[in-house]
Amino acid sequence: MLTVDNTKAWLERFADKIETNKAYLSELDSVIGDGDHGNNMARGVKAMKEKLSEEDYAQPEEVLKDASMALLSKIGGASGPLYGSALLAMSKQAGQDSADLHAIIKAGLEGITKRGKAEVGEKTMVDVWSPVVEHLAEGTVTIEDVQDSVEATKELKASKGRASYLGERSLGELDPGAVSSGFLFEAMIEGEIIDE
Amino acid sequence: MKKIINQPDQVVDQMLKGFVYANGELVKRVPNTTVIVQKHKEKNKVALVSGGGSGHEPAHAGFVGKGMLTAAVAGEVFTSPSPDQVLEGIKAADNGAGVLLIIKNYTGDVMNFEMAKELAEAEGIVVEQLIVDDDIAVEDSTHTAGKRGVAGTVIVHKILGAAADLGMSLTDMKALGDELVKQVKSIGVALTAATVPEVGKPGFSLADDEMEYGVGIHSEPGYHRTKVKSSSAIAEELVSKLKQAFDFQSGETYGLLVNGLGATPLMEQYIFLHDVEKQLANEDVSVAFKKVGALMTSLDMNGVSLTLVKLEQDWLKLWQHPVDVTDW
């Protein structure tokens, strides 16, 4: 069940992970993209943290909405609209029912696919979000599940986004957006948001 | 990395400040945004808005002015601007006759500009969009994000900007743009990669004696890496690729752009143009317009691109229409 406090704590933990791994994310991106994913994400989560610390919230969907807007306006590139759309869709769903985490994450995934048009298997963040939604449908998701999904992007050939221009050469590399999404879900699991 | 900068994360803001200081008669910056807009807008003409990641200067702010763009929106280096910035650009540009967005075909650009279009429409502004995908180096466009938008985008700015200046309606401009984009094709070669300030090292590595055909303007990989060739051999390769893509027919008329990618001297661009001229002389097509210069760069990338535009109807007149911008 999402509350104002655990949603804020979740997103702050996510921000810390991004900041800690900024150089790592950019390094991954320099192999199959243009080397700025860490810098762009770090700029976004910094703005998000500032915004969340300024406001008093009554409902978790308000936290998600402000986080969405901060990420949308500060990340830029493709990741900005994708994370922004995900959190905006999650905010709408949380407004309907803040207890159903599966429905909330599923809404986020739909926000991403509506905006980015990527499907499972195209070596994008969808390849982490989709298995997390499936695990939650069955009850719970573990850190290991998330890390397995992230790791599995190595075996995929990119056909969306800038990495798609590498074709076969994208094989064997992690997708940076999948890795940053992995941090979001690790932060969610560590925040003990999932009702057992 | 050797660059004349201060803080790597401040390059876009500081560049825009310098740009406005230099060109204050012609353009202004919308406060608290990365939007550069025409200072003297004309009512009831369709407004053209373009933009994208920074690092491609003079694209796009250098083409803001009478006869080309109404506003340009700058993102971080090689990173699309966010929807709220593009929305500010649309609002600042709108003259009451609608706004045409000219977008280079990159995943991030398309998503951010489309979101901005939705936001602007919600505010009652009529917006159309045009996606430019002129880079024929992308062979497998169905299993990738598609052909990329590169230097040909500047020609689209020029021709549609002229149409807007002559009073064409938004609907007609969108139709003209859709026809035009199909007839604009580009291909490039890189001798060295670009170095993004915040990254600090080149986007890919090429040995001292190597070059790569088909590299994208953000260092996306090309289609063939080889030992460095002469200008005439490069012209032969690039013209042959364009000839194949257009399927040259006798009597056709083309316009061309030789575009420097950032670090290639103008001297080399003219040498290359002369070799392109010789290659095209073997074909039974005429070249009605030639343009040379660094118009769509990739920071400090060393290389050139060649754009051909198959001219139809009265496009040549639009290409030649006078403009008042800083960098055409």
- pLDDT tens by residue, A127-175: 999 999 999 999 999 999 999 999 999 999 999 888 888 888 889 999 9
Q: Which domain holds residue A125?
A: 4-190
Which helix (H) or strand (E) segment holds residue B103: the answer is strand B99-104
Percentage above 90 pLDDT, chain B? 90
B56 catalytic? Reply is yes
Low-confidence ranges of chain A (pLDDT < 70): 196
Higher pLDDT, A82 or B222: A82
Q: Is residue B302 classed exposed, middle or buried when 0-12, 13-18 and 19+ CB atoms within 10 A define those classes? A: buried
| Of residues B75, B145, B196, nearest to A161 (C-beta) | B145
Mean pLDDT of B9-20: 97
Q: How confident is the model at residue B42 (pLDDT cuts 50, 70, 90)?
A: confident
> CATH no. for residue A111?
1.25.40.340
Distance between CA B147 and CA A161 in Å, rounded?
11
CB pair distance less than 8 Å for A34 and B203: yes
Contacts of A26 in chain B (CB under 8 A): 199
**Most A CBs within 10 Å, among B35, B144, B212, B299, to test the A interface:** B144
Contacts of A74 in chain B (CB under 8 A): 82
B60 catalytic? Reply is no
- pLDDT tens by residue, B50-92: 999 999 999 999 999 999 999 999 999 999 999 999 999 999 9
Output the CA angle B183-B254-B138, nearest 5 degrees. 40
- pLDDT tens by residue, B242-281: 999 999 999 999 999 999 999 999 999 999 999 999 999 9
How distant, in Å, are the alpha carbons of A57, A173, B13, B212 from that of A168? 47, 10, 38, 18
Q: Is A195 among the domain residues? A: no
Contacts of A23 in chain B (CB under 8 A): none
Which helix (H) or strand (E) segment holds residue B184: the answer is strand B184-192
Which residues lie closer than 8 Å to B252 by C-beta, 6 or more apart?
A: B246, B285, B286, B310
Report which residue type is found at B301.
M
Rounded (10°) angle between helices A4-20 and A176-190: 140
Closest CA to A54 of A80, A76, A62: A62
Rg of chain B over Cα atoms, rounded to whole angstroms, equals 19
Asked if B145 and A162 count as a contact pair (C-beta separation under 8 A), the reply is yes
Enter the DSSP assignment of A84: H
Mean pLDDT of B131-135: 97
* Six-digit token string for A185: 């879900």
- Spell out the SS3 assignment of A41-55: HHHHHHHHHHHHHHC
CB pair distance less than 8 Å for A79 and B198: no
ipTM: 0.84
Contacts of B106 in chain A (CB under 8 A): 78, 162
- At the second CATH level, the architecture of B184-319 is 2-Layer Sandwich (3.30)
| Of residues A72, A84, A161, nearest to B107 (C-beta) | A161
Asked if B270 and B219 count as a contact pair (C-beta separation under 8 A), the reply is no
Q: Min CA distance, B248 vs chain A (Å)?
A: 27
* Six-digit token string for B77: 């280096």
Q: How many domains does chain A have?
A: 1
CA atoms within 13 A on the CB side of A146: 20
- Whether the predicted pLDDT of B203 surpasses 90: no
DSSP 3-state assignment of B187?
strand
One of B40, B56, B224, B274 is an active-site residue; which one?
A: B56
* Six-digit token string for B96: 């009451």
Contacts of B108 in chain A (CB under 8 A): 76-81, 162
Q: Is CATH 3.40.50.10440 the classification given to domain B8-182?
A: yes
Closest residue on chain B to A43 (Cα):
B9
Q: Is residue B128 classed exposed, middle or buried when 0-12, 13-18 and 19+ CB atoms within 10 A define those classes? A: middle
Enter the DSSP assignment of B29: E
Distance between CA A122 and CA A10 in Å, rounded?
27
Q: How many residues does chain A have?
A: 196
Asked if B243 and B252 count as a contact pair (C-beta separation under 8 A), the reply is no
Closest residue on chain B to A82 (Cα):
B111
CB pair distance less than 8 Å for A77 and B75: yes
Q: What is the helix, strand, coil percentage profile of chain A, to 5?
A: 75, 0, 25
- Whether the predicted pLDDT of B157 surpasses 90: yes
Predicted pLDDT at A196: 63
CB pair distance less than 8 Å for A162 and B107: yes
Asked if A116 and A82 count as a contact pair (C-beta separation under 8 A), the reply is yes
**In sequence order, what DSSP letters do the residues of B222-279 get, joined into one string?**
-SEEEE---HHHHHHHHHHHHHHHHT--TT-EEEEEEEE-BSS-HHHHHHHHHHHHHH
* Domain locations in chain B as residue ranges: 8-182, 184-319
Q: How confident is the model at residue B222 (pLDDT cuts 50, 70, 90)?
A: confident
CB pair distance less than 8 Å for A34 and B196: yes
Distance from the first to the final alpha carbon of chain A: 10
CB pair distance less than 8 Å for B83 and A72: yes
Q: Min CA distance, A6 vs chain B (Å)?
A: 28
- Whether the predicted pLDDT of B27 surpasses 80: yes
How distant, in Å, are the alpha carbons of A32, A84, B308 from that of B189? 20, 36, 15
**In sequence order, what DSSP letters do the residues of A110-168 get, joined into one string?**
HHHHHHH---TTSSSTHHHHHHHHHHHHHS---HHHHHHHHHHGGGSPP-SSGGGGGGG
Distance between CA B289 and CA A79 in Å, rounded?
39
Closest CA to A36 of B261, B53, B110: B53
| Of residues A77, A116, A167, nearest to B140 (C-beta) | A167
Q: Is A93 among the domain residues? A: yes
* Six-digit token string for A137: 């449908």
Closest CA to A14 of A196, A189, A194, A195: A189
Asked if B193 and B177 count as a contact pair (C-beta separation under 8 A), the reply is no
pTM here is 0.92
Asked if A35 and B198 count as a contact pair (C-beta separation under 8 A), the reply is no
Q: B289 pairs with which residues across the strands?
A: B255
Mean pLDDT of chain B: 95
Distance between CA B236 and CA B242 in Å, rounded?
10
Predicted pLDDT at B326: 96
Distance between CA B225 and CA B242 in Å, rounded?
18
